[in-house]
Amino acid sequence: DEGWYGPEGGGHANMSPEEWLDSNQGNDNIHYAVPNDYLICSGISTYDPVEEWPAHCGTGFEDPTYGINWRHYTYIAPEYGSNDNHTGYIWTIDTTDPAQPFLVSKWKLPGEGMKENGSHPQHWIPGGYIFSPHNGDTGPSGHVYYTHYHAGAWMTDHGEIWDDLVWENGVPEPSRGFQAIEQLAETRTVGYYLPAGPPWIENATEVLGYDMADCWASCMIPFDWGLQYDPRGFVYISEMVSGIYVVQFDEDYDPRYDYPPLWTELMDDE
């Protein structure tokens, strides 16, 4: 009850047990923990060529001066079958020292929800897992991908979180963790993909019988269940009724792996 690593650690961002276990605030029900595969420094990773590293990344995590700027993050998220106030936060936890994790950023679906009495500060889940975070994966330079059931698949950028933290004494103090942070960093929203059926099929919802969706999935399309990131720059998204989607965000394009979508060529021939 006193934090992720002791009473002085601030692992739960100084929240009381009651607050941490309050799903109405987007907390509790943590189902998913997704760690980075690479250390990150200012939007690049150990996957990137050394000649592209910024000067303040030095020679890597072992650099005696700049090694502190190489960070490892783990992303945790809840899953809600229903929640009348929230869809849940994705929490970015600094796990560079696995024995001393601390919160550095958090993110929720952008925008506001609607209720009978008007707008609501955030989206919410009336039932059927609508909008809840589900499976996630990470790219090499701070990009993170999560499926959100009917809200589609979202990509966020965590690459410059360490640069954007506001520290109490003006310099990073990871040994003090959350207690030394005055202001958390922003998680940047890059974009989303909402599966809508094959674009080369007119009226795909009727042709493919989307209304036959299992009502455990709220009888609605899309129902994004899981995804995996391919280091060549592609995201494989599992939509429970219409199939698998291979998606590439512009920020992930790698010219070494140039595979234009075949359906674009077919449309151009018409």
Enumerate the domain spans of the chain: 17-36+72-269
Residue 112, pLDDT > 60, answer yes
User: Higher model confidence: residue 78 or residue 262?
Assistant: 78
Looking at the predicted structure, is the pLDDT value of residue 227 above 60?
yes
CB atoms within 10 A of CB 234: 18
The region of weakest confidence among 51-55, 125-129, 168-172 is 125-129
pLDDT of residue 5 exceeding 60, the answer is no
Residue 57, pLDDT > 90, answer yes
pLDDT band at residue 217 under the 50/70/90 scheme = low
- Report the pLDDT value the prediction gives residue 10, as an integer from 0 to 100: 52
Residue 127 binned pLDDT confidence (cut-offs 50, 70, 90): confident
pLDDT attached to residue 16: 77
- Whether residue 29 has pLDDT greater than 80: yes
User: Which pLDDT value is given to residue 210?
Assistant: 64
**pLDDT of 171 strictly over 90:** yes
Average pLDDT taken over every residue of the chain:
86
* Mean pLDDT, rounded, for 66-88: 94
Note the pLDDT of residue 264: 59
Which pLDDT belongs to residue 2?
45
- CA atoms 47, 36, 160, 232: torsion sign: positive
Mean pLDDT score, 257-270:
65
Instruction: Give the side-chain half-sphere CA count within 13 A for 201.
Output: 11
18 token code pair: 């009651």
Least trusted range by pLDDT, from 45-49, 213-217, 256-260 = 213-217
Report the distance separating Cα 165 and Cα 177, nearest Å: 11
pLDDT at 97 over 50: yes
Please name the residues in contact with 120: beta carbons below 8 A apart, sequence gap of 6 or more: 85, 112, 113, 114
Task: Tell me what pLDDT residue 212 has.
Answer: 54
pTM for this entry: 0.89
